[in-house]
Amino acid sequence: MKKFLNIGAYAMVLGLFFTSCNDNDDYQTIESIDKVKIDSVKIVNDTMDVFTVQSIKTYSTYSSHCEGFYAYDYIHNNNLTRTVTAYKYIANGPCAQGAFTGASQINFSPQQTGTYTFKFWSSDNTWITKTIVVE
């Protein structure tokens, strides 16, 4: 009987421990998604081989730490042209104030040779244009 009481006591302590660890009220809920201006783009190699992978980094400015990178809208306009629009999330809750710059990346893996044109949305009708030659 004493053995069952010890096992029950251990189970109760473990249950309370895991319950208290998972009781986290510090998370924030995403309230909305919106376009975010891409301030600059970094392409390490403007020439690359077909079937290889290159990371393309984009940089955007966020007004507070309640905002951050959410996703890209990456559109194949034709075989060699891509348009890229970045989106940010806007969360609720207490956040550190002050603008900051965040970096995100796209992994580009071309499947055919040619000169690829990338257009990154920068604001309204403004785009940052970059090219990569694939051999």
60 in a structural domain: yes
If one counts the domains in the chain, the total is 1
102 in a structural domain: yes
6 in a structural domain: no
CA-angle at 103, arms to 100 and 105, nearest 5°: 165
Which pLDDT value is given to residue 17?
47
1 in a structural domain: no
* 97 or 115, greater pLDDT: 115
15 in a structural domain: no
11 in a structural domain: no
Which pLDDT value is given to residue 95?
85
Q: What is the mean pLDDT of residues 39-68?
A: 96
Q: pLDDT by residue (tens digit) across 56-75?
A: 999 999 999 999 999 999 99
36 in a structural domain: yes
| CATH classification of the domain holding 55 | 2.60.40
Q: What percent of the chain has pLDDT over 70?
A: 80
Region class of 93: left (phi > 0), else alpha (psi between -120 and 50), else beta: left
Range of the domain at 125: 29-134
12 in a structural domain: no
Q: Decide the pairing of beta strands 81-91 and 30-36.
A: antiparallel
User: CA–CA separation, 66 vs 93, rounded Å?
Assistant: 8
**What's the residue count for the chain?**
135
